[in-house]
């Protein structure tokens, strides 16, 4: 692992690091904010998964998260959204290829050699964090925006016991029924739609649910709301009788102005779960 940068930030350190990823077969970059408490021992971590076209940097610089995390003594991890570099498959469309990993393990060419973001987020990067930083592997929570909200919800419901809590900003809630999902799942996973269900938050909610609190915010003026399908997740939560707070925020769109407006709520929500008991 190599240090790209480290900056003092709200009494802690905001770092950027690169490492050779076995899962993605390329170099990967991530951001990590460590609060001041990490100097004295392991701290809980909140994972933030970003959306389409983003890198590790977008939320790190735009989400206004570090100050609230510092108040709660929580680390923040900002992974990249896909593998990158020479030899890594890409597409001219913004919603496929580099910047659009969709947090799945691709099984189809030309994507399968590198696009294994599920394994990277679920297994490899957590090992890197706990081996190199003061991170408490027993206290983890997860959130994300748009494609990252999709990833946060599907990971949380598929890895029982891993995360104390899950939240999302404008998540792609029902990708098997949306052009933000069907296109990418077909490319990455093939045409057998039975393989797609494991990566659909609404289907997983109906079938499994989440053993913990859930918070989801979506803006009523989100320009992509028809692709996000928040109504499908709401129906699944009701059917499952899931403990969940699903909010439609009047006037807000899909941007980081929206995310930053409600970041304090989300970090406080996760802090309550991470420090419970």
The pLDDT tens digits of the residues spanning 178-213 come to: 999 999 999 999 999 999 999 999 999 999 999 999
Does 5 have pLDDT greater than 80? Answer: yes
CA dihedral 205, 207, 211, 212 (to 10 degrees): 10
Beta-sheet pairing, 12-21 with 26-34: antiparallel
CB 160 within 8 A of CB 211: yes
Give the residue-averaged pLDDT of 114-142. Answer: 98
Q: In what order do the strands lie in the sheet with 12-21?
A: 2-9, 12-21, 26-34, 75-79, 43-49, 135-144, 166-169, 214-219, 245-249
Among 80, 200, 217, 222, the one annotated catalytic? 222
Is residue 222 part of the annotated active site? The answer reads: yes
Q: Model confidence at 258, in pLDDT bands (50, 70, 90)?
A: very high
Among 146, 165, 170, 178, the one annotated catalytic? 146
pTM for the whole thing?
A: 0.98
Specify the pLDDT at position 56.
98
Specify the pLDDT at position 131.
97
The pLDDT tens digits of the residues spanning 21-75 come to: 999 999 999 999 999 999 999 999 999 999 999 999 999 999 999 999 999 999 9
Does 226 have pLDDT greater than 70? Answer: yes
Is residue 254 part of the annotated active site? The answer reads: yes
Is residue 123 part of the annotated active site? The answer reads: no
Q: How far apart are CA 182 and CA 188, in angstroms?
A: 10
Specify the pLDDT at position 200.
98
Among 56, 254, 266, 270, the one annotated catalytic? 254
Average pLDDT, the chain: 97
Specify the pLDDT at position 277.
59
CB 87 within 8 A of CB 58: no
Specify the pLDDT at position 197.
97
The DSSP call for residue 123 is I
- All structural domains of the chain: 2-275 (3.40.50.1820)
């Amino acid at each position: 692992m190599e240090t790209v940068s480290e900056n003092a930030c709200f009494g802690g350190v905001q770092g950027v690091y690169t490492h050779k990823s076995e899962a993605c077969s390329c170099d990967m970059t991530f951001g990590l904010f460590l609060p001041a408490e990490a100097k004295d021992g392991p701290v809980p971590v909140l994972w933030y998964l970003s959306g389409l076209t983003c890198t590790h940097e977008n939320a790190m610089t735009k989400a206004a998260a570090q100050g609230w995390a510092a108040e709660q003594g929580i680390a923040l991890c900002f992974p990249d959204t896909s593998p990158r570099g020479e030899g890594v498959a890409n597409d001219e469309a913004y919603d496929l290829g580099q910047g659009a990993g969709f947090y799945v393990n691709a099984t189809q060419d030309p994507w399968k050699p590198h696009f294994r973001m599920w394994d990277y987020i679920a297994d490899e990067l957590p090992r890197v964090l706990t081996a190199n930083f003061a991170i408490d592997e027993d206290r983890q929570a997860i959130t994300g925006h748009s494609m990252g909200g999709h990833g946060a919800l599907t990971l949380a419901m598929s890895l029982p016991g891993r995360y104390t809590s899950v939240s999302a900003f404008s998540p792609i809630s029902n990708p098997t029924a949306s052009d933000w999902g069907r296109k990418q799942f077909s490319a990455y996973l093939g045409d057998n739609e039975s393989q797609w269900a494991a990566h659909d938050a609404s289907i997983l909610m109906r079938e499994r649910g989440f053993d913990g609190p859930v918070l989801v915010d979506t803006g009523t003026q989100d320009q992509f709301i028809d692709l996000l399908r928040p109504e499908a997740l709401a129906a699944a939560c009701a059917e499952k009788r899931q403990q969940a707070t699903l909010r439609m925020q009047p006037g807000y769109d899909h941007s980081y102005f929206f995310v930053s407006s409600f970041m304090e709520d989300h970090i406080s929500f996760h802090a309550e779960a991470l420090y419970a008991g």
